[in-house]
Structure formats: structure tokens, C-alpha cells
Amino acid sequence: MRESILYLLVGAGSFVQAGSGWWDVFSHRIEFVDFDPWWNPAHTGLYAGALLILLAVLRASKTGTSYAWLHAIKAAALLQLVAGGLNEVVHRVPSLEAYLDFTVHSLFTLGMLIIALTLFTGLSIHSTLVGRMHGAVIAALILSGGSLWLVSSGSVMYLFSSNPAFVLALLAFISSTITITAVSAVGAAGVSFLVWLAYVAAVYAVFVGYAGEPPYIPLGVASVIAAEAAIRVAARKHREVLGMFIGGALLGAALRLTYYPLTEYYYRLYGGGVDFLAAGLLGGLAGNILIMVGGKILIERGVLPYPHESGRRAM
């Protein structure tokens, strides 16, 4: 089996469990409010994703593929399967559930975050180095980016729901880092749109298909396409840093559109105007800074080539 197909399987497993995680959260508000049945469908999706990821990584090791980041993914998948088994037990023992429920769920979510972040980052670096990627690898990057978007945004909204301003800034930070990384890594236009589309497709399926919310038009397509266009235009003029800042600023300013309709709750709670805009801009620009600092470190350590280095493809 080709290495690119194994990456695609890991990306697919990551995306399945990220979408199942959102499904699980809403299932406890709609179907399983007072109880949690054995192996409910959302849990099955979570465990199936972890198992697919583990099998793909184990297969990759047999083909001679031995990247350090694949070992991190394998460890995270094993952590998830252990946490998943504990989760089924904890929900059947009230005395344990009171003390271990949050811990078990946190461990599984941590595993999802490690897998999505590691695969997305690893493939982004790989793409930057080789210049051209197999279609299956690009698909894996898109799925892992969508998964990372789902897991990180869902975790942020759950953990910091009492601080809307902080949530908004972190959501902008997430959209900025994922979008800019995808655009910088893949030469093909539209990659950030496809990552965003993967994220939106899962959210839409849960919101409209499962929770029964009214159908809506995902308005975030405008902000994501505008941000990618700004980054690519600036890159052609060798103004990558400027392009990143403009792209991040656009995503931050259009935060309400990017996450529509999720941000409507925070917009009503926190209000519009300068504070909402400031939170988005702060988060978007913070994402730029993280990427630039991280990129500089990787370049200095020889992991990534210098910009404009001979042989490196343009955006």
C-alpha cells in the first residue's frame, strides 16, 4: 500500500472521529440527556476513527515509513482506545462517573487534537519541502486540517464558554493558523477553501442534519477565499509576511462570517462593534505571529528551506 494512501486513511480516521465528537456533544442534549447507552453511534464513530488511525500507522511502519510524528500519532491513537474503553466503564458506575468523566473525555479529546495537529503539521512541512504532493496526500492534509478546526474550535467553545471575548480571539487564532499554514504549504489554489469546507460540512451535518436546525448559507466562504487570495497575491510579489498579516486580519475582521452561525450566540452575548472586531483581529494576528516564529525556527534548524530558495515552488 502506498505511503500516500496510508496518510489518507489517517486523515479520514481523524476527520471521522472529529465529526463524531461534535455529534456526541449534541446527542447528549437531544437523545441521551439522562443516560449514555453502550456504544452509542457517536461513540462508535469515535472509536472506529481511532482504530483506523492506529491500523494505518502500524501498516506505515511495516512499509518502512518511520517519521517521528507518526509515532506521536500512534501513541495518541492508543491513548484514545484506552480512554474509550474507560469511558464505557465509567458511564456504568455512578461513583466513578462523578470523578473520572471529565478526565476520560479530556484524554480522548487530547488524543484527537494530537493526531489532527501532528498530521496537519507534518504534511504541511512535507509539502513545503517536496514542492508537489500526491493527490491523496493533499486530501489527507485537507481532512486533517478540517479535523483540527473541528476539535480545536469545539474544545475552545466548551472550555471557555464563560469568557466570550477569549473564545472569539481563540477562534480567530484557529482560523488564521490553519488557513495560512494550508496556503503556505500547498501550491494549488483553493486548498484553504477545501479545509474550511471539510470543517463546515461536519458542522452543517450535525447542526442541520442531526439537531434539526434550519438550513443556512455558510457565509465564511467569503472570508476564507479573500484571505487566501491576499496571501497568494502578496507571495507572488515576494511579500509573504505582508500577505500573512493581511490574510490574518481579514479572517479576524470577518470572524462572525467565518464561524456563522456559531458566532451568533457570542455576538448576541458579547455584542458587536469594536470589542467583537478587536477580539477577532487580535486572534488572527496572533496566529500570524505563531506561524512566522515557528517557520523561522524550522528554517534556522534546517527543517524548512529559506523562502525563494532555488527549487522551491511559488504559491
Considering the domain architecture, whether residues 214 and 256 belong to the same structural domain is answered as yes
Cell output for 106: 479530556
Is the domain of 263 the same as that of 188? yes
> Which residue, 144, 142, 172, is CA-closest to 156?
172
pLDDT at 2: 75
Per-block average pLDDT, block size 10, for the chain (315 residues)?
A: 82 95 86 69 91 88 65 91 85 71 87 92 75 79 94 90 81 86 78 92 92 87 87 81 80 82 70 60 72 62 47 41
Domain that holds residue 177: 162-315
Whether residue 196 sits in one domain with residue 175: yes
Q: Write out the three cell numbers for 41.
A: 453511534
pLDDT at 313: 42
| Same structural domain, 141 and 172 | no
User: How many structural domains is the chain composed of?
Assistant: 2
Question: Are 152 and 233 within one domain?
Answer: no
Of 272, 265, 178, nearest to 227 (Cα)? Answer: 178
- Say what the pLDDT of residue 201 is: 94
pLDDT at 275 (0 to 100): 61
Same domain flag for 112 and 191: no
DSSP conformation letters of the chain: --HHHHHHHHHHHHHHHHHHHHHHHHHHHHT-SS---TT-HHHHHHHHHHHHHHHHHHHHHHTT---HHHHHHHHHHHHHHHHHHHHHHHTT-HHHHHHHHHHHHHHHHHHHHHHHHHHHHHHHHHHHHHS---HHHHHHHHHHHHHHHHHHHHHHHHHTTT-HHHHHHHHHHHHHHHHHHHHHH--STTHHHHHHHHHHHHHHIIIIIIS-PPP---THHHHHHHHHHHHHHHHHTT-HHHHHHHHHHHHHHTHHHHTTTHHHHHHHHH-SSHHHHHHHHHHHHHHHHHHHHHHHHHHHTTSSPPTT-TTPPP-
Closest residue by Cα to residue 315 from 192, 224, 186, 125: 186
The domain boundary residue, chosen from 143, 159, 175: 159
- Per the confidence metrics, is the pTM higher than 0.75? yes
The CA distance from 225 to 247, in Å, is: 10
Whether residue 307 sits in one domain with residue 191: yes
| Residues 15 and 138 grouped into a single domain | yes
Q: Are residues 167 and 149 in the same domain?
A: no
Residues 5 and 123 in one domain: yes
Q: What are phi and psi of 35, to 5 degrees?
A: -150, 165
> Based on the number of CB atoms within 10 Å of its own CB, is 93 exposed (0-12), middle (13-18) or buried (19 or more)?
exposed
- The pLDDT value given to residue 65: 57
Indicate if 32 and 124 belong to the same structural domain: yes
Residue 306: predicted pLDDT: 45
Q: Show which of 159, 176, 210 is a domain's final residue.
A: 159
Q: Which of 175, 264, 268 is nearest to 222 (CA)?
A: 175
116 and 205 fall within a common domain: no
Of the three residues 103, 136, 159, the one that is the final residue of a domain is 159
pLDDT given at position 93: 75
